[in-house]
Structure 1
Amino acid sequence: MSRYASLTRDQLATLVPELLLIGQLIDRSGMAWCIGAFGREGMAQVAIEEWMGSSPIYTRRMQQALRYEGDDVVTIFKGLQLDIGAPPQFMDFRYTVHDRWHGEFHLDHCGALMDVEPMGEEYVRSMCHDIEDPTFDATAVATNPRAQIRPLHRPPRVPADRNPHCAWTVIIDESYPEVFESADCTALRSSKAALTELAPIDGADDGQADYSGPLLSDFDFAAFSHSALVRIADEVCLQMHLLNLAFLRAVDRRTEADQYLEIATKQLVGIAGIAAERIRNALELPADEAGALRVLELHPLLNPAAYVAATVDGELAVSHGPAHEDGAWIALCGPDRLAPLQAVVRAVDPYLDVEVTGSTEDWTARVVRRDVPAPEAGEVAVTRFSGGSTFTFQPRKSIPLTVV
């Protein structure tokens, strides 16, 4: 059973957008260390490879889970609304549908741009040109290999305060050359994450069970059933794991073992702390040992339950499972690798710590209280550079989008 099933429908409607935003912030953690190791151009190439390697797989999974499979522009837009690459409001996509094969979108607010603009025009071009061009098409390939996403305008912004931040056309045409998935994507299709089977959505549950109806201006999380939201939460966590696995492949081919482990761990520590803080705040969990255990139970590090073998009952017990076989985040935790777990519990309360016993893949963690607060990990502070760390979601009214 999913660990998210223990939450109420209202709690899930609050948490799922948080999980989407957390997925976006993985790069705010990981790419900082890639810049140091590989430079700006090397960082950009890692980003291209990770998104191209993961997004076609998880996009297709979400289509199947929520029954909106298709080959048209509407299907592409629905997928973007449930993609960690485009978390709601932080990446404020606004959609226009002309017909099945023609559409546009623009971003009224791009949180990623707000993070990168202070770094200078070269970094903006790396993100908005070098990275976006191949990765947008790679995302679309999950729906139609002859889809092309092309800019009407994009940053660097001229004038400097230009709004919307960018605008793009989406056109599907049989005359366009077919786009093929990357070698990394093909390799990741055999990963345990890609093959993880989750419980189907219960159609008898109160609320909307799928997204087969009209495209909405904003995905209305509160309209969906408890069962659907549980499935979405688990799928979003798998998106994160697949993105991380593609990231690790890209880093691995550029490093030796020690540097690979260093970058992989720093990325995890940074996102682990920020994710824990956002989960705890969103669900208003207590700042004590019980609250820290609950945050661990709901953290993407340990979800979905079908992928990460663990139990939480007064303490966290982890055993060998599919995620270990993939070399996923949980493989970077254990008796001799405390930093990611410490980042999680200290985000709840800096006086908290973990004591871990056991072997590399089968271990138990107890949350304990220290007499002196621990400083925030440097990796978490680096990730906090992103405006996404403090971003606040606002209430939105969702309306159907019709052909114009």
Structure 2
Amino acid sequence: MVSRYAALSRAELAVLVPELLLCGHLIDRSGMAHVLGALGREGMTGVAIDEWRLASPVYTRRMRRALGITGDGVDAIFKGFQLDIGAPPQFMDFRFSVQDHDHGEFHLARCGALADVEPMGEEYVVAMCHDIEDPTFDATALATNPHARVRPVHRPPRVPADREPVCAWTVTIDATFEPPAPADDALLVAGTRAACVELGDIDPEDAGLHDYSGPLLSDLRFEDFSRSALIRIADEVSLQHHLLTLGFRIAVDARTDAATAVDIAHKQFTGIAGLTSERLRKALRLGDDTAALVQVLRVHPVFNPAAYLDIQVSIDADGPVRIRIARDCGAIADGAWAALLDPDHLDPLNALVRGVNPCFYTRVRAADHDAVTFEIALAAMPFQEVPEVAITRFSTGAAFAFTDRGVPLPLTVL
């Protein structure tokens, strides 16, 4: 199936990919406030550990295959970090050094997640930088090498309070480390349609980098990749959104009753859908009319990749925009975001379209066994922003701006 991102130019894709990485990171800003309200700090910490532990090994292995990252050294582990929604470029400013195949270090010159959490107090900082990071850094590294360990040199709470870099970590590969046994619940995400969906191949003849088989770079400058590679990366990053959210659903379901879990899922979906639309519209320099809405709908990670979610976006010459979501697709089977949209639950879709124009609203045009079709119309007055989007906007990532940091340098062994 042709990727919906294939409609974009190479330059547009180079802008889009870091936006997708950042918006994937902000999924937690959308969801965790509601988990905190239902389960408290300890419950929230448990959900965060489980969602990342379940999802990150799956999508790390996918991205390695997609971009020809075949090594198993610390440099390959760091390449995976650079293409992970857990570490969006610049917002989570990872700086790497490599001593040899088995030894490396990284520090964060800037940590947007810490900027979000520090005002909440030391207990929340410890929960994120200790309780959550310890198992989830290891889970990501183990996807590249089962003998890898990620350990802190120093980390927050910061002493002194303005300490920089904010944290530093070592990565060591040692054959004597006993790989952990697979978790009993590992297949709950690894066995989903999202984990297994096949995406289009990268054209090796396309101009630009078509893989990441070369040396580890200090930064990834996405405009250096070929258009074909950027399409595949965008599809893979969109899948990361779904895989993380499936992990989130599993973790919440295990700790709450069914009604509470679905309510939290709707709120998470609503918050991130609206903020992502807003950022994508601005990044691609679109207007706020129906043509802009169609473009945002076609590139929004909620509705991608095309091989995972079967939707059609259409518009008549003088009519409303329509979205038809087929029920026979991987996303619906997995219970991903699209499965939460139905005639009685329009808040996520309303938030999504109002990220383009606050006057848009949705209604159901048709629904049957095969598909549900929504149409989007324009009201005379703007709607007030819903609390779920306002909560997500709490993150400093909501207004974060990427900058051009110049030509990246290869990181050779010291």
Q: With structure 1 as the length reference, what TM-score do the two structures score?
A: 0.98
Matched, 1:53 2:61: no
Residue 109 of structure 2 aligns to a residue whose secondary structure is strand
Write the letter of the residue equivalent to 1:89.
Q
User: Which sections of structure 1, spanning at least 5 residues, go unmatched?
Assistant: none
Identify the residue that residue 273 of structure 1 maps to in structure 2. 274
Once residues 79 and 180 of structure 2 are traced to their aligned partners in structure 1, the CA distance between those partners, rounded to angstroms, is: 20
Once residues 333 and 357 of structure 2 are traced to their aligned partners in structure 1, the CA distance between those partners, rounded to angstroms, is: 32
Once residues 116 and 39 of structure 1 are traced to their aligned partners in structure 2, the CA distance between those partners, rounded to angstroms, is: 15
Write the letter of the residue equivalent to 1:316.
I
* 2:54–2:190 CA contact under 8 A, matched in 1: no
Q: Note closer, same or farther for the CA distance 1:9–1:181 as it changes in structure 2 (3 Å cut).
A: farther
CA drift of 1:317 comes to 1.2
Write the letter of the residue equivalent to 1:6.
A
CA drift of 1:211 comes to 0.3
Once residues 278 and 284 of structure 1 are traced to their aligned partners in structure 2, the CA distance between those partners, rounded to angstroms, is: 10
Q: Which moved more, 1:350-359 or 1:92-101?
A: 350-359
Matched, 1:221 2:222: yes
For residues 253-264 of structure 1, what are the structure 2 equivalents within 5 Å? 253-264=254-265
For residues 29-178 of structure 1, what are the structure 2 equivalents within 5 Å? 29-178=30-179
Deviations 1:180-208 (A, max 9, x none): 44333222222000010001101111111
Identify the residue that residue 343 of structure 2 maps to in structure 1. 335
Once residues 272 and 65 of structure 1 are traced to their aligned partners in structure 2, the CA distance between those partners, rounded to angstroms, is: 26
* 1:289–1:352 CA contact under 8 A, matched in 2: no
C-alpha RMSD of matched pairs (Å)? 1.0
Matched, 1:399 2:400: no
Q: With structure 2 as the length reference, what TM-score do the two structures score?
A: 0.96
Write the letter of the residue equivalent to 2:324.
A
Deviations 1:43-79 (A, max 9, x none): 0000000000010010000000000122110110000
Write the letter of the residue equivalent to 1:44.
T
Identify the residue that residue 370 of structure 1 maps to in structure 2. 379
Write the letter of the residue equivalent to 1:394.
T
* 2:211–2:229 CA contact under 8 A, matched in 1: yes
Identify the residue that residue 317 of structure 1 maps to in structure 2. 324
Identify the residue that residue 387 of structure 1 maps to in structure 2. 396
Once residues 383 and 349 of structure 1 are traced to their aligned partners in structure 2, the CA distance between those partners, rounded to angstroms, is: 18
CA drift of 1:179 comes to 2.7
* 2:90–2:110 CA contact under 8 A, matched in 1: yes
Once residues 109 and 317 of structure 1 are traced to their aligned partners in structure 2, the CA distance between those partners, rounded to angstroms, is: 41
Once residues 181 and 400 of structure 1 are traced to their aligned partners in structure 2, the CA distance between those partners, rounded to angstroms, is: 34
Once residues 218 and 244 of structure 1 are traced to their aligned partners in structure 2, the CA distance between those partners, rounded to angstroms, is: 27
CA drift of 1:299 comes to 0.7
Write the letter of the residue equivalent to 1:228.
A
Write the letter of the residue equivalent to 2:361.
D
Once residues 180 and 380 of structure 1 are traced to their aligned partners in structure 2, the CA distance between those partners, rounded to angstroms, is: 39
Once residues 184 and 205 of structure 1 are traced to their aligned partners in structure 2, the CA distance between those partners, rounded to angstroms, is: 40
Once residues 115 and 288 of structure 1 are traced to their aligned partners in structure 2, the CA distance between those partners, rounded to angstroms, is: 33
Once residues 143 and 271 of structure 2 are traced to their aligned partners in structure 1, the CA distance between those partners, rounded to angstroms, is: 30
Write the letter of the residue equivalent to 2:395.
S
Q: Which moved more, 1:32-41 or 1:251-260?
A: 251-260
Identify the residue that residue 352 of structure 1 maps to in structure 2. 360
Runs of 4+ in 1 over 2 A off after TM superposition: 179-187, 357-361
Residue 96 of structure 2 aligns to a residue whose secondary structure is strand
* 1:335–1:357 CA contact under 8 A, matched in 2: no
- When the two structures are aligned, how many residues end up with a matched partner? 404
For residues 12-27 of structure 1, what are the structure 2 equivalents within 5 Å? 12-27=13-28
Once residues 285 and 362 of structure 1 are traced to their aligned partners in structure 2, the CA distance between those partners, rounded to angstroms, is: 29
Once residues 222 and 357 of structure 1 are traced to their aligned partners in structure 2, the CA distance between those partners, rounded to angstroms, is: 40
Deviations 1:339-366 (A, max 9, x none): 1110011111111111222227611122
Identify the residue that residue 319 of structure 2 maps to in structure 1. none
Residue 307 of structure 1 aligns to a residue whose secondary structure is coil
CA drift of 1:248 comes to 0.2
